Structure 1
Amino acid sequence: MTSAPPAAAPVPPVLDVVGARVTRGGRDLVHDVSLRVGAGEHWALIGPNGAGKTTLLTLCGALGHPTAGTVEVLGRRLGRVELSELRRQIGHVDPRHRMAGDNSVREVVLTGLTGSSDPVPRWSPTDEQEARVVDLVAGVGLSSRLSARWSVLSQGERGRVLIARALVAQPALLLLDEPATGLDVAAREHLLDTVDDLRTAHPEMASVTVTHHLEDLPSSTSHALLLRDGEVVATGTADEVLTSDLVSGAFDHPLVIDRVEGRWTARARRR
């Protein structure tokens, strides 16, 4: 009799936040929040200003520790791992990214390998890394801007450069902190198309996007977590969570949520 092959070991989550609480100045910014993100899942953190979205994203990016609860990023628990090394394995897109110099697109993308805001003196990329920068810049539609300086880029171009920067180290986890901030409609749509394309090109990569505008979510969003006053209102698949009733409760305002051709819209409910 042939014995059955051993069962495959369960795949660990890319991100596992369990009962997290963050307290500052005697006030809980998030309280008893849990979030489990698997490979290839694309989560949205939704909620009004002050709901705790940025605080939770800080934990996801290994930029801070919880006051209580546990946070495991890429299989390593915060508090038991050297953070700077872990952060280099996480892609982070923040439209408020600052740098000291007026760097070129190529230089900005390369800083994703060094985890620095500006080019590191006496550090040189390999030929393979240079080729990856060229490919990524092409992938976000900016091949002709490879040598352009940051100061001459539009806000939309900067957003796409930051996506390339976040991907250059081939992260398993990509964090997007309100990536459409400051963009006009055309630039926002170009950015979201870029995000959808990269998720297709990197099917194993997981992502977490923070926003309080449902219109800023790409159609590839698979899951969502609603926050209000630092606590979870709902969590699950995007279609289960992003409903009129649940979003209205999170924002304390009567809203109608629709999804058309994969994208969400929100409008006030007529009384």
Structure 2
Amino acid sequence: MTDPVLNVSDVTVVRSGSPILQGVSLTVHAGEHWALLGPNGAGKTTLLRMLGAFEHPTKGAVEVLGKRLGRVDMRALRAGIGHVDPRHMPSGTLTVREVVLTGATNTAALIPRWQASPEQLAEADRLVDLLGLSHRRDADWQILSQGQRGRTLIARALMPSPRLLLLDEPATGLDLAGREQLLERVDLLQRTHPELASVLVTHHLEELPPGTTHAMLLRDGRTVAAGAVDEVITTAHISTCFDHPVRILRDEGRWSVRPVQPQLN
């Protein structure tokens, strides 16, 4: 097996004297697609920021793309990571194609006097098509639906051909159709980018693509369970993680949650 894309070893993060993560470990290999789930305040955002080379741990070790945080130029490391944040706002008036091209420079706007190469232009167009946006290629970002924006940001994140894709609640604010279109395209990446590893953060099991291979559950900064998705996303583990009794169902690769009816005396 090749070296892991991510290797988090017994990591603790303390902020203002309070522990945010405690003894968390995670190993992600090429081609694996992880879900990171947990209630608000579980530590998901902090962990994702370390995986994206934005923060250092207080204790423990984090290796991203074979580079240990604290011994590497974090900005240079981030250039090899695709990061999808639905809160990202491009600077200026940009078309879909131009937003995707900003992924080549990892900036919010097109750099003055910078010119994309013919190869970069072709790659941007290929990604726009892959994400189902060819009919919106020249549309202004400001008039896109939330779902179209989400798919544009995934194309942007793929522009530098990253080995790692981080998706921070990518279905936030989407209606049913927008969510399903986005998840279909995320799942397609397994076939078009077979070596790509991904970590997707969400609160909702319904937002997990069918191709999710592994999962980690966090609660109060600690790992509840981590490993193969069918062993982690279970009724017992999810009920413990969210401190609420539920029943987990899976049908045709998608998960859903059902309430547990209280016993009446």
How does the TM-score come out when normalised to structure 1?
Answer: 0.95
Tell me how far apart the structure 2 counterparts of residues 225 and 268 of structure 1 sit (CA, whole Å). 22
Tell me how far apart the structure 2 counterparts of residues 241 and 127 of structure 1 sit (CA, whole Å). 45
2:4 to 2, 8, 13: 13
**What letter matches 1:131 in structure 2?**
A
Q: Does 1:87 align with 2:82?
A: no
**What letter matches 1:246 in structure 2?**
H
User: SS of the counterpart of 2:60?
Assistant: strand
Q: Does 1:270 align with 2:245?
A: no
Shift of 1:98: 1.8
Structure 1 stretches (4+) deviating beyond 6 angstroms?
none
Tell me how far apart the structure 2 counterparts of residues 109 and 88 of structure 1 sit (CA, whole Å). 15
Tell me how far apart the structure 2 counterparts of residues 143 and 98 of structure 1 sit (CA, whole Å). 21
1:153 is matched with 144
Tell me how far apart the structure 2 counterparts of residues 146 and 177 of structure 1 sit (CA, whole Å). 24
Shift of 1:123: 1.1
2:252 is matched with 261
For residues 53-104 of structure 1, the C-alpha deviation after alignment (integer angstroms, 9 at most, x for no partner) is 1110001000111111100000000011111111010001110112331211
How does the TM-score come out when normalised to structure 2?
Answer: 0.97
Shift of 1:166: 0.6
Shift of 1:242: 0.2
Percent identical: 59
Q: Does 1:182 align with 2:173?
A: yes
**What letter matches 1:195 in structure 2?**
V
User: SS of the counterpart of 1:198?
Assistant: helix
Q: Does 1:114 align with 2:138?
A: no
Tell me how far apart the structure 1 counterparts of residues 185 and 191 of structure 2 sit (CA, whole Å). 10
Q: Does 1:56 align with 2:56?
A: no
2:238 to 205, 229, 247: 247
2:186 is matched with 195
Tell me how far apart the structure 1 counterparts of residues 108 and 26 of structure 2 sit (CA, whole Å). 29
2:62 is matched with 71
For residues 228-251 of structure 1, the C-alpha deviation after alignment (integer angstroms, 9 at most, x for no partner) is 000000001000000000000000
Shift of 1:267: 2.0
1:4 is matched with none
User: SS of the counterpart of 1:125?
Assistant: coil
Shift of 1:34: 0.6
Trace 1:152-231 onto structure 2 (pairs within 5 A). 152-231=143-222
Tell me how far apart the structure 2 counterparts of residues 69 and 121 of structure 1 sit (CA, whole Å). 41
1:233 is matched with 224
Cα RMSD (Å) of the superposition?
Answer: 0.8
2:131 is matched with 140
